[in-house]
Amino acid sequence: MRFLKMTMKKETQAQKFDFIVLGGGVSGLGFAKRISENGRSVLVLEKESVVGGLSRTLNHNNFYLDFCAHRFHTNNKALLNEIQSLPGLTMRRHIKKSRIYIFHKYLKYPFELQNLLRAMPLYQSFLCGCSFIYNQFAKHFYKKSGLKSYKDWFVYQYGKRLYSVMCYPYTSKIWHVDPAEISADWADQRFQGENMKKLLRRIILKLFRLDFSSYSLEDDSLAPDGGPFYYPLRGIQEMPDALARAAQTNGTKIRTSVEIISINSAEKTVSYREENKIKTAKYGDLISTIPLHALYALQERKEAIVEKALKDTKYMSIIFVYLFINKPQVSNDHWIYFPDKDIVFNRAVEFGNWSPEMCPPGKTSICFDITTFEDTPEWSMPDSALTERVISDAVRIKYLERTDIESSYVLKIRYAYPFYDLAYKKRLDVIVNFFENNKSTHLLGRTGIFKYNNSDNSIEMGFALAEKFLQGKKNKSIYDYEVKSISY
Ligand SMILES: Cc1cc2nc3c(=O)[nH]c(=O)nc-3n(C[C@H](O)[C@H](O)[C@H](O)COP(=O)(O)OP(=O)(O)OC[C@H]3O[C@@H](n4cnc5c(N)ncnc54)[C@H](O)[C@@H]3O)c2cc1C
């Protein structure tokens, strides 16, 4: 009798929500916005002190710092309008300026073939040109559906020789494996492919007009390329903040700095610690945007086959080395790619070029990113050694001058990239099936459902899941939601 009373007391204490969302990244906030607009109650539980997840901005000594580049771009006009009309969000339109440092030269990026071929040693450009043209004819005899790896995909699109220049160095540097070991799904989701007729026409026209760009970093006559994107005045954080405010206006409760302790899927409750108090909330449906491994650890059901699948399913981590520069601009690019393996960083993102409000007057800041696994040596390097390695590489290639660097800051982030090895999909089927077999648990977002999403796709996915509930759809899973990102 006493036990019954205690149980009842616990149940009456637990507040009930239609939905509990684990994680306050943009996918969870997108879901919360859409579903709460339609009168449903939502509780969002976020472990960090602010919302935003990977789309966050730090304020460090009056410099606003994103997690590397975070441009907002989408082909979905309705989504763009909805985001742009969020109160308090100061989205500005940009035309992307980006280059790649290759053959010791700065080339426009995305690659312009006429400039790439000109930058190479003559024999190499001849072989690449022949291989590309041969491939345009030969590819009609291959089956696109038989492309398993990213290498297969790239060779199919551009030929073997260009693969060895345009794809292999940068891809193997970012992912620490041969592109032959990365699933072709990654390319399908990231790149739309080129319309070859248009590409060839563009190259021929540029050759006739002698339309070649200079390779120097000082060249600011860089023609805009890569299309438009949107970016707030004080960092991408404005976007999750605006989504959170919109959801809160409709009654969504957002709790930050919480530690989720356990999920009881039979009782449909989540227990969490907030300000040293243990609290329990009840849900109708649970939406998880947190890493798959974290969700598995929190819930009570265990299965050997799922554990095995999770063991081999990896997210990549990332290190950001921020340098604070005592001059207004280093180059005019939003970001520059560095595929050479003897340069430790992958990209340099200059925040002063994204918005003047990102840096104090007269200064700029640069984020250098290094992708790692947790057993890659860089992950355990001390911050001072990492910073010195970044600075010495940047100075050696004449991107920076040591005397311009005022200070630095290092940040390491786990769960940054879902890693698509060749067998990832089979394992993911097992994992997703396990969680979603329980009809009131739903996976969502880049991290939560292991999809290589941009932020627009993550928000879109959140909206799509909410619509499924609102329309009373029987199958609510968005596992098969088709991600079509624009490459970045
Ligand atoms: C380096 C980098 C550059 C990128 N550049 C771009 C770009 O230019 N343009 C673009 O559109 N997209 C970009 N993206 C992708 C974009 O950041 C993501 O698509 C988006 O932020 C993912 O949102 P999400 O909600 O799906 O996941 P997340 O942002 O991962 O959200 C998950 C949330 O769950 C929280 N969480 C985790 N564990 C727990 C727990 N145990 N309890 C409670 N909460 C927890 C996390 O703190 C986080 O807030 C980039 C990503 C990276 C890593």
Q: List pLDDT tens digits, range 195-218.
A: 555 656 666 655 555 556 667 776
The pTM of this model reads: 0.91
Contact 461, 453 (CB under 8 A): yes
Segment 361-380 mean pLDDT: 95
Which residues are CB-neighbours of 18 under 8 A, at least 6 positions away? 35, 40, 41, 42, 283, 284, 285
Please name the residues in contact with 38: beta carbons below 8 A apart, sequence gap of 6 or more.
Answer: 466, 470
CA of 55 to the centre of ligand 1 (A): 6
| CA–CA separation, 313 and 135 (whole Å) | 34
SS3 284: strand
Residue 330: per-residue pLDDT: 95
Peptide bond into 179 cis (omega under 30): no
Pocket probe for ligand 1: among 44, 298, 447, the residue whose CB has the most ligand atoms within 8 Å is 447
Condensed to tens digits (0 to 9), the pLDDT of residues 12-67 reads 478 999 999 999 999 999 999 999 999 999 999 999 999 999 999 999 999 999 99
Q: How far is the CA of 419 from the centre of ligand 1 (A)?
A: 14
The answer on pLDDT for 313 being more than 90 is yes
- CA–centroid distance for 455 within its chain: 7
Res 301 pLDDT > 80? yes
Asked if residues 34 and 252 have their Cβ atoms less than 8 Å apart, the reply is no
Domains located in the chain, CATH noted: 2-55+237-313+423-470 (3.50.50.60), 57-74+91-106+220-233+315-418 (3.90.660.20), 113-212 (no CATH)
Distance 453 CA to ligand 1 centre (A): 9
Whole-number mean pLDDT of the chain?
89
| pLDDT given at position 1 | 44
Using one digit for the tens of pLDDT, what is the confidence trace for 317-361?
A: 999 999 999 999 999 999 999 999 999 999 999 999 999 999 999
Q: State yes or no: pLDDT of 157 exceeds 90.
A: no
Is there a contact between 96 and 224 (Cβ–Cβ < 8 Å)? yes
- Residue of 74, 262, 289 with the most ligand 1 atoms within 8 Å of its CB, for mutation: 289
